[in-house]
Amino acid sequence: MENNNDNALHQVVERIRAAAADATPLCIRGGGTKDFYGEAPQGELLDMRPLAGITSYEPSELVVTVRAGTPLAELEAALAEKGQCLPFEPPCFGSGGTVGGMVAAGLSGPARASVGSVRDYVLGATLVNGRGEVLSFGGQVMKNVAGYDVSRVLAGSLGTLGVIAEVSLKVLPVPPAEATLEFACEQGDALRLLNEWGGRPLPLNASCWFEYAGAGALYLRLRGAVAAVEAACEHLGGERKDNARAAADWQSLRDQQLPWFATGNGPDALWRVSVPQTAPVLSIDGSAPLIEWHGGQRWYKAPPSEAARIREIARAAGGHATLFRLPGSALQSGVPRFDALSAPVERIQRALMREFDPHGLFNRGRLLPAN
């Protein structure tokens, strides 16, 4: 396995050097489960799946090092055998997702507001830059970085800084107790309750509010010590759900498999609006949103043509809006997927991209418009 992966990395390096020599753009891909996210992939395919396997795993140290093409399901299964997990619950969107794609996309699941995001768990990374150089950043402990923390900058970069070859991740034990509570309430009441509970010493882990059959319901997941979870359930009230059924529903939420996310072939796109948790109900027309992250992440269905209005409302609330997924009837909408960056932030982002990928080979135009 080691020799096979050494050979796979060598082939990646040689492919990048050849692409740099003739200015051929490359589309970095693992399982392709997130091709819908960001602007359309461009360039010749660079398949990362051959570079797979868990390099090292020290359960007692809560650290795992994994090659980029490793299936995410394989990593999660290995962690589960030791009673551990990736606390940020990375979305899969399909059975073929890889660890490299998880880091490059930088997406997190329902628990993100309570436990942190992908980047908070990246300890180190091995990267192949646009010159075909193999670079290593960070390590396998939390405090080992001097200067720029490049390994964490990779999270959410959509492959525009280089080819992730390997990552070291912090993992955590599965909490000993879990409970899900349901509360019948409207959107405004749900936001008020979440803000009120957020100021108390409660083992909050995830939340979700949406309307079904015309009625709103707030779901709250508690995780932690047995005594803390039981005390919180008694204090908060609500209807306690069956753990097995609730676990399946939370996983469906993570992977956007709940019926609420179904868009079909209609004109509506799926918008992700990121705002402060204390933001009030937003006046975005259309169906009622699905709200996660204790109010910080709100999903809306609206046509791409509503981009300017949605983004204006999001900015007024102190956040931003992403055109997350287009409907089948509008695969080419002409609307930018990501909200415009401020001039200083875009300057920094482009400077990083030029430094790591001077020939502009990797996932061209996927994150920022190509110059």
Alpha carbon of residue 114 to chain centroid = 14
pLDDT at site 369: 83
Altogether, the residues listed in the chain come to a count of 371
Sort strands 26-29 and 44-47 into parallel, antiparallel or unpaired: parallel
How far, in Å, CA of 249 to CA of 14, rounded?
A: 44
The pLDDT, as a whole number, for residue 26 is 97
Q: Which of 185, 150, 189, 161 is nearest to 28 (CA)?
A: 161
Q: 272 Cβ partners below 8 Å, 6+ apart? A: 297, 298, 299, 321, 322, 324
- For the chain, 371 residues long, give each residue's pLDDT as a single digit of tens: 456 678 999 999 999 999 999 999 999 999 999 999 999 888 999 999 999 999 999 999 999 999 999 999 999 999 999 999 999 999 999 889 999 999 999 999 999 999 999 999 999 999 999 999 999 997 655 444 444 578 889 999 999 999 999 999 999 999 999 999 999 999 999 999 999 999 999 999 999 999 988 899 999 999 999 999 999 999 999 999 999 999 999 999 999 999 999 866 678 899 999 999 999 999 998 779 999 999 999 999 999 999 999 999 999 999 999 999 988 655 566 899 999 999 999 999 999 999 999 999 999 999 988 76
Q: Residue 1 has what pLDDT?
A: 46
User: 3-class SS at 220?
Assistant: strand
| pLDDT of 148 | 58
Q: Over 261-316, what HEC string results?
A: HCCCCCCCEEEEEECCCCCCCCCCCCCCCEEEHHHCEEEEEECHHHHHHHHHHHHH
Measured distance CA(249)–CA(210) in Å, rounded: 13
Map out the domains of the chain with their CATH numbers.
1-174 (3.30.465.10), 177-325 (3.40.1020)
pLDDT reported for residue 4: 67
The per-residue pLDDT for 196 is 96
Q: Take residue 174 and report the two structure tokens written for it.
A: 């599965």
Beta bridge partner(s), residue 172:
85
From CA 346, how far away is CA 231, in angstroms rounded?
Answer: 47
Prediction pTM value: 0.92
pLDDT of residue 142: 47
Q: How many Cβ atoms from other residues are within 10 Å of residue 238's Cβ?
A: 18
- Rounded to whole angstroms, the Cα distance separating 276 from 317 reads 8
| Alpha carbon distance 210, 219 (integer Å) | 9
| Predicted local distance difference test score (pLDDT) of residue 327 | 81
- pLDDT at position 366, please? 94
Distances (CA, A) of 362 to 95, 286, 311, 367: 24, 37, 28, 11
Tokens (6 digits) for 300: 């809306």
Beta bridge partners of 362: 26
